[in-house]
Structure 1
């Protein structure tokens, strides 16, 4: 089973303003990839990344937008007023 993880550049690799917490998917086998593909399209090389299994740091808003667009749509027919 794959799950979403938080991935960002490790301290000292880039400036603090670029260390956004991006969303990526841990492969089902648990083996870390050579590079972490993120929901916003960035690929962070594994040797430059730190991975957290819970939110950590300032979130990448593009990743959050991509994540929310992957969730099921709400049933708006039952809530719309005619």
Structure 2
């Protein structure tokens, strides 16, 4: 199941100021060994917290690199 997910360091791995919610593309199959975020950061999978929706402060670098929605595409429910 592909799509975009929010990835951040798990609690206790880094200080709270570094626990920004980054965006990454979920692979079609399996879990990557490291999540490559849209801003270019790599977060090792064993140190990551992954969610379908962002939690916490968003990474503005990731947000600015999100692809534009395709014309006629439905927005996910809030």
Tell me whether the two structures share a fold, i.e. TM-score over 0.5.
Answer: yes
| Cα deviation digits, residues 20-51 of structure 1 (max 9, x gap) | 0000011012x110000000000000010000
Within 2, Cα distance between the matches of 1:32 and 1:11?
A: 20
The corresponding residue for 2:37 is: 38
Deviation of 1:2 (Å): 1.5
The corresponding residue for 2:8 is: 8
Structure 1: give runs of 5+ residues left out of the alignment: 75-82
Structure 2: give runs of 5+ residues left out of the alignment: 72-78
TM-score normalised by structure 1 residue count = 0.80
RMSD of aligned alpha carbons: 1.6
Q: Which has the larger radius of gyration?
A: 1
